[in-house]
Amino acid sequence: MKQIVGVMLLATAATALAAPQKGRPVEEGYLVAGAEGQVVKSGDGGWVFMTVAPITDGRGQMPSDKGAPLLPCSTLEQMVGLVKDAEPLDVRLWAVVTEHRGKNYLYSLYFLPLKERAETEPETAKPQEPAPAAKKEKESVLPTEILQMIQKNAIPDLKRLDELVVTTGDRNLIGRTGLVRTVGDIMVFKADAFGQNVGEGTFELLPCKPLEEALRAARRTPGRQRYVVSGVMTQYEGKNYLLLRRAVRTFTHGNFTP
């Protein structure tokens, strides 16, 4: 009997370890592939993604009731542009999870505006079938890898796809040296020009694990915060942002002063 109880306790413990833990953030870099939900304006003036089901990587979990904060980026700007009269926007979203100080955020990569569920069943299911020409025309502008991930029960809103710009203009920044400094409540990065086309302005750094690690290292070694960084440059409402993927502190040893 004791052996049976012991086995049951071990099985319960293993199940608890395997199940997603509430309160534990999803790991940085996890890909959210085609999650359904709504883009909603939050009380602080930002935007959140209210998911139909919680986002989980198998260990951590982003609850569906509170909404996941959406980071400023060109894809978010496209979604906001489709919002009508402050109504929630139904979408299927592809995004990368970031983590900063125990909190998760979503950096949007791609989305499909969806028709409301009430329109999809049973009345619109049949009329949608005899219109392959319109669907085929849309396939020519949508990335193949995204089309392969679209579920049959997610019906794209073709009218709104006409308003959607597929290319975002986001660019990679790889191995660039520059200064990281605090401006008010935010951290910004300004790359050394050296004749390269990365823009003359500064980039606000979006919350993520590499930023958290860079800030931790900066507190240990005071002075000019000079880094070699890699990440994704994006824009939102005319402002430049940078999502760090790597940030390594460097020292000039007096060779030159930026």
Highest-scoring range by mean pLDDT, 5-14, 170-179, 205-214: 205-214
Whether residue 101 contacts residue 198, with contact meaning beta carbons closer than 8 Å, is answered with no
- Domains of the chain, first to last: 24-161 (no CATH), 171-249 (2.40.50)
- Please provide the average confidence, as pLDDT, over all residues in the chain: 75
Residues 126-162: tens digit of each pLDDT: 443 443 444 444 443 445 555 555 544 556 665 665 5
pLDDT at 130: 41
Residue 243 phi, psi (nearest 5)? -95, 110
- Is residue 21 pLDDT above 70, yes or no? no
Buried b (16+ CB within 10 A) or exposed e, 71-97: bbbbbbbbbbebeeeeeebbbbbbbbb
pLDDT winner (highest mean) among 73-82, 120-129, 190-199: 73-82
- In 3D space, the residue among 41, 54, 44, 135 whose CA is nearest the CA of residue 89 turns out to be 41
Residue 100 has pLDDT above 80, yes or no: yes
Q: Which helix (H) or strand (E) holds 226?
A: strand 226-236
Q: What is the pLDDT of residue 147?
A: 54
Q: What is the pTM of this model?
A: 0.73
186-191 and 239-249 beta bridge pairing: unpaired
pLDDT at 84 over 50: yes
For residue 226, the model assigns a pLDDT of: 83
Per-residue confidence band for 218, with pLDDT thresholds at 50, 70 and 90:
confident
Residues 82-87, mean pLDDT to the nearest whole number? 84
Pick from 118, 114, 152: which is nearest to 38 by CA?
114
pLDDT of residue 66: 79
**Is the distance from CB of 216 to CB of 225 less than 8 angstroms?**
no
Whether the Cβ atoms of residue 209 and residue 107 lie closer than 8 Å to each other: no
More confident residue, 253 or 106: 106
